[in-house]
Structure 1
Amino acid sequence: MTPPTPLLGARTLDRETARALPPGSRLPTFVQTVLFARHRKTFFPRLRAQYGDVFTIRLVPSSRVVVVVSRPEHIREVFSTPPSIAHAGEGNTALEPIMGSHSLLLVDDDDHVRMRRQLMPAFNGHALRGYSEMIAQLARDEVEAWPVGEPFRLHDRMRDLTLEVILQVVFGVTDSDRLERLRPLVEKVVSVGPVIMLGAFYPTLLRFPPWRTFLRAQQQVDEILYDEIARRRVDPTVAERNDVLSKLLAAGTWSDVELRDQLVTLLLAGHETTATSLAWAFHELARMPEQLQAGQQAADEGDDAYLEAMGKESLRLHPVVYQVGRRLTEATEIAGYRLPRGTTVMPAIGLVQGDEQHFPDVHTFRPERFLGDNPPAPGTWIPFGGGTRRCIGAGFSLLESTEILRAALTRYDVRAVAPAPEKAKPRNVTLVPSEGCTIIATPRPNFGG
């Protein structure tokens, strides 16, 4: 395995190199890190307004140098840089204790190519069509149980639903007893936050709660996953089963540990992100009667293109993941700067998708942007990243959004409890509605008629 590239930071950054970097904030590293972690949605726009489309920040650990780019052509440069030079896996090393060292998000070079090739059959068009009815049924069961005529936090319900999709459609667990055991354990794992992740850097913490509690839940989930993998390996009907785990076993050569790491990656990457994107979509629909009516018409008529456009516009207006990172393994020219080895380059998804130049009336929810003959320009809508590291589950996420929107909009009218939009607040790596997208759902007059 190739040794990791040393970070460009306080210990390796000389004055001459520092002067050649893009301009940026002079605040202390710790302050910049807190602003990045807690307020990036306002911190980044302020820095761009002050320093331009390319700027430098410094983050822990080691006061590492991070160059942020926000123009589509510069982001394309990053995504088109050979993956052997722009390592994405090295930028995610803090996730290794949770996702595992074989996670697609953590490997680079040949390991990444091999694992991505083996994952692709489970996420191609044919496979996605096979998942749609399973997802649709889970969505119908969930929305049928929504409280009627009283406020409820829809984000919580979306998290429950997307978790159920992961357990049944991805893991392939359908046994009711095993599901009852898994749900609370997996909920603890997916709720991992920055404090728990400190255990990766300070192993002594793992002896104390809450780290010890999290570690035990993770171990129990792993026991069940390894048992599922063992059962599936000897299942004579595995080739006919219609879940992601079975398709991975049928299409590739995996060790048990590699499979476990991919399943946990799909769990953590696909649960909170899709739930949050859907919550923001309903947040907008509950305040825009005309858009709600258009969405209901699309749901009634089976207009999947419009329903998918609603999911895309939610991801544009409220980017769940605000930025991605690459670590340069050698000196590279990006955005007109010769960036040294070890620099972290960060395409700012939120900045480019929130730019009036690319999306007129940028703060308004308009799914129509993604329909017709004039779609967004290449490189301006990038919620799933780009290049060889584009999220492999992008199609699955959009399919899930389409089916869940259809299930809810054919059945309900939705309205907001308060007319003012909810503010975004950070929840781990995502930005979620501060009040959980609190709405009131009432049956449509023609439902069931």
Structure 2
Amino acid sequence: MQPVPGPRLPSALQTVLVWCLPRWFLDRCHRRYGDVFAVYAAPTGTLVYLADPDDIRTVFAGDPETYRAGEANAVLGGVLGESSVLLLDGAQHRERRRQMLPPFHRDAVRRQAEQMAEIAAADVATWPLGREFPVAPRMAAITLEVILRIVIGSRDERRLDALRRALPPVVNTGLLEAAAMVHRPLLHHWPWRGVRRARAEADRLLRAEIADRRADPELAERTDVLAMLVRSTDMTDTELRDQLMTLLMAGHETTATALSWTLERLVRHPDALTRAVRAADGAEDGDEYLDAVVRESLRVRPVIFDVVRELAAPAEVAGHRLPAGVTVVPAIGLVQRSARQYPDPLRFDPDRMVGATLTPTTWLPFGGGARRCLGATFAQVEMRVVLREILRSVELAPTTARSERQRAKHVTLVPHRGARIRVLARRRSERALPAAVSGHA
């Protein structure tokens, strides 16, 4: 068989391009080499990118003992913990995933929608009028509050304040944090003292929440995800801590970035914005159109460019015999912006998603197969609820400004200017905000 084609650039340069300019570099590789190409990126090694849905289907449907996502995610172990569902494979992963799915079933998530809306409304009430500002930090504040109150279920105001301070530095990975994830012994040296302290404080606070939940006489009535896991599983405190950190990393910044991109796209498309406002106000197709806006935003501006599977044994993929140790990479960002799958693929067009039947290998912002993000339903409901609350509460100004670039921020692609928007006026809302719904009240 022919070797997988790819650039002949030095390994160090390829690593920099993959981590710092993934969209630019991988788009160019795709155009030059086709739907299957190989690049090198430390610390993983050889990455074989796949942009054909049939090849991606082979990976997603393949034997999970061969296509191992846990091993491919091992670099995250220093933050998530060794028992994180993201780091497990085989029977261990199946059992842990089975234990964690009930809190994320559609009915369970639907019961949380009102609290999501209250959190969003409280934050939006603080937004400035008449001046441009980056909305990404506000989205991060909202999604963090959702994690704290609905997933972790914290009710103690002092601990909530401490968690708001402690958790973002742990998951907002910069250069020092990324280096410590790759090589954990670095944490013992002085430049990483702050990283070590932040992780220790986050760990202490999460373990305190777990202890509170175990001792809560009203545990049976609680609806937060942590309470449901304590009630229904035999996980140890360490295992629960690892799952909470996983849910935080997987559901905080990614959802915040997705919402930021959605607003960035809407203000640049006045017709879609007008229709979305009508939908938020209760038009007949309200939920359907808001869901279409969310899906189209996730298509044209995926937060995660790809998903990874490390081969535990040799396998034939896309007509190539690949050795064990190679990482195969279904490329979300290449498939979802392919003209073969979506006409005029770079155009933001929510109408294409209205009533559409999406296949798991052409629309895959949450991955696919047995490793599809278990919080996908939660994230999509949260995005719809928060978007509706924003559009009900404020009038956004359309803009003719250029689209914001996709900037790499560790494994996510964020708006390079923070998704800048301008609020023209507050709209009358039927919602009566309870006092102290969030940290901004």
Please, what TM-score do these two structures have when normalized by structure 2?
0.93
- Identity fraction in percent: 42
For 2:182 and 2:289, locate their aligned partners in 1 and report how far apart those are by CA, in whole Å: 45
Which of 43, 46, 50 is equivalent to 1:61?
A: 43
Which residue is equivalent to 1:164? 145
Deviation at 1:413, TM superposition (A): 1.9
- The CA deviation string for residues 17-42 of structure 1, in whole angstroms up to 9 with x for no partner, is xx743111111111111110111111
- The CA deviation string for residues 170-193 of structure 1, in whole angstroms up to 9 with x for no partner, is 110122111111111112112222
- The CA deviation string for residues 126-178 of structure 1, in whole angstroms up to 9 with x for no partner, is 21112111111101111111111111110111011111111111110122111
For 1:61 and 1:430, locate their aligned partners in 2 and report how far apart those are by CA, in whole Å: 17
Which of 342, 346, 361 is equivalent to 1:379?
A: 361
* 8 Å Cα contact 2:43/2:182 also seen in 1: no
Equivalences for residues 112-261 of structure 1 within 5 A: 112-261=93-242
For 2:365 and 2:181, locate their aligned partners in 1 and report how far apart those are by CA, in whole Å: 27
- Partner SS, residue 413 of structure 1: strand
Q: How many residues align?
A: 429
Deviation at 1:439, TM superposition (A): 1.0
Deviation at 1:48, TM superposition (A): 1.4
Deviation at 1:418, TM superposition (A): 5.8
- Partner SS, residue 101 of structure 2: helix
Deviation at 1:236, TM superposition (A): 2.4
* 8 Å Cα contact 1:155/1:437 also seen in 2: yes
1:428 aligns with 2:410: yes
Which of 29, 45, 49 is equivalent to 2:31?
A: 49
- The CA deviation string for residues 406-440 of structure 1, in whole angstroms up to 9 with x for no partner, is 10111222125662111111112111111111111
Deviation at 1:322, TM superposition (A): 0.1
For 2:369 and 2:262, locate their aligned partners in 1 and report how far apart those are by CA, in whole Å: 27
Which residue is equivalent to 2:288? 305
Deviation at 1:200, TM superposition (A): 3.7
* 8 Å Cα contact 1:369/1:376 also seen in 2: no
1:95 aligns with 2:79: no
Deviation at 1:61, TM superposition (A): 3.1
Deviation at 1:203, TM superposition (A): 4.4
For 1:399 and 1:262, locate their aligned partners in 2 and report how far apart those are by CA, in whole Å: 21
Which residue is equivalent to 1:394? 376
- Partner SS, residue 327 of structure 1: strand
For 2:232 and 2:178, locate their aligned partners in 1 and report how far apart those are by CA, in whole Å: 33
1:270 aligns with 2:251: yes
CA-based RMSD = 1.8
1:353 aligns with 2:327: no
Which residue is equivalent to 2:271? 290
Deviation at 1:53, TM superposition (A): 0.7
Please, what TM-score do these two structures have when normalized by structure 1?
0.92
- Partner SS, residue 85 of structure 2: coil
- The CA deviation string for residues 50-80 of structure 1, in whole angstroms up to 9 with x for no partner, is 1111111122237x22211101111011100
* 8 Å Cα contact 1:68/1:348 also seen in 2: yes
Deviation at 1:96, TM superposition (A): 0.3
Distance change >3 Å, CA 32–CA 114, structure 1 → 2 = same
Deviation at 1:198, TM superposition (A): 1.4
* 8 Å Cα contact 1:416/1:438 also seen in 2: no
Q: Structure 2: give runs of 5+ residues left out of the alignment.
A: 432-441
Q: Structure 1: give runs of 5+ residues left out of the alignment.
A: 1-18
